Chain A
Amino acid sequence: MRIEDFDVYKDLLMEKSGLVLTPDKSYLLDSRLTPVAKKWGFETLDKMSAALRGVADPGLIKDIVEAMTTNETSFFRDSRPFDIFRDSIIPSLLEIRATQKRFKIWCAAASSGQEPYSLAMVMKEHAGLTGWNFDITATDISTDILDIAKAGIYSQFEVQRGMPITMLMKYFEQKDEKWHIKDEIKNMVQYKYFNLLDSMASLGKFDIIFCRNVLIYFDKETKAKVLAKMKAQLAPDGYLFLGGAETVIGITNEFVPAQGLRGVYIPAEAAQSAAAPAATQTA
């Protein structure tokens, strides 16, 4: 691919999805965009690149953005965040939301659904939550991947990666060679399209946000913007989960790591007010 063409895609992806495309990833353009070019009737990638310099069809742009997303995920990915969610976060919510008996979770890069469904299974298993109301809103920029999430049908390989066999036995049904997640779990999750670069105000407020393994694709400025917007949607006593290779440190002062909970972050003000009594004592 010519360097000018590379720049066309680089700028487009940065603007539309925040994805940082570095030259060493240019091989991805060829392999992932050739099928898109074919679908839209361009003989070659070069022809599509030329078309993109003019007024491009929004549908084509959407296909390009989706083709360039990495949807890698698994049930109970990294396992520890889900242990923390079960053993520390749910007990905390049981306390701080005891009057409302309600809380809301947002999975901000849900991919094919494994993350929100893992959370739903953890919540289903938690005896303390009977009689409580909760919503899990799961969003992604790729409508193709959301269709897969909504269908809730997984291969043998996918259900084995990270998921305890007891969960598979309880919450899945086997049809032919595929594993279908049961309605009792599926119905706990609402899926919708959402681009993290857009205004988040319409999404409402959440008690917990899972935003895992998506900020890694953004540059520092975009990360900071997304995190600042997320803080506005998070309850002051809420929790943010990031992926194993992600952090707020050096990116934003809006959040700080939650003590003793790896991968979990809380609004900076919440940490300050928790520390305040100690501070007055020493004064």
Chain B
Amino acid sequence: MKSCLVVDDSRVVRKVARRIVEDLGFTCEEAEDGQKAYEQCEQNMPEAILLDWNMPVMNGIDFLHKLREMENGAYPKVVFCTTENDMDHIQRAISGGANEYIMKPFDSEIIETKFKQIGLLES
């Protein structure tokens, strides 16, 4: 089974996201900030990462940069999932190595199609 790491400082969002990715057939891990996510990736590199932008300790974009420098850090597909919804943020995310970008609010259909588009799910 593929694994998905959900990185978000809101417990509610993590819970909603967990339900969605589990329904899509992933196992789910959670992290509440970029630093914790980084530590989890050192232990176990997931297939997919659903990543919030604004979080305490280490934000999403800093995490992404650090992740992509890790050995094996190119492996996970990273999908930003954030209330930041302007072109500037989108561009920074994609040039920082994100594979897709979701603007909150999101629903299961959006996550599913984005996962299909980047090859995390069969279409």
Which A residues are within 8 Å of any B CB, using their own CB? 79-80, 83, 156, 160-162, 164-166, 168-169, 173-174, 177
Tell me the smallest distance from the CB of A229 to a CB of chain B, in Å.
33
Question: Given A79-B123, A156-B103, A174-B86, list of 12 further CB < 8 A pairs?
Answer: A79-B113, A80-B123, A83-B123, A156-B85, A160-B106, A160-B110, A162-B113, A164-B117, A169-B90, A169-B91, A169-B94, A174-B87
Q: How far is the CA of A160 from the CA of B101 in the complex (A)?
A: 9
- CB contacts under 8 Å to A, within B96-120, are 100-103, 106, 109-110, 113, 116-117
Partner of A161 from B90, B91, B110, B116 at Cβ < 8 Å: B110
Contacts of B103 in A (CB 8 A): 156, 160
Cβ contacts A to B, 21 pairs, < 8 Å: A79-B113, A79-B123, A80-B123, A156-B103, A160-B102, A160-B106, A160-B110, A161-B109, A161-B110, A162-B113, A164-B117, A165-B90, A166-B94, A169-B87, A169-B90, A169-B91, A169-B94, A173-B87, A174-B86, A174-B87, A177-B85
The answer to whether residues A161 and B113 also contact, given A169-B91, A169-B94 and a CB cut-off of 8 A, is yes
The answer to whether residues A79 and B116 also contact, given A160-B103, A161-B109, A165-B94 and a CB cut-off of 8 A, is yes
Q: Count of chain B residues with Cβ under 8 Å from any Cβ of A?
A: 17
Which B residues are within 8 Å of any A CB, using their own CB? 85-87, 90-91, 94, 100-103, 106, 109-110, 113, 116-117, 123
Q: For the complex of A and B, list the 5 residue pairs with the smallest distance between their C-beta atoms, beginning with the closest.
A: A165-B101, A174-B87, A160-B110, A164-B117, A156-B103
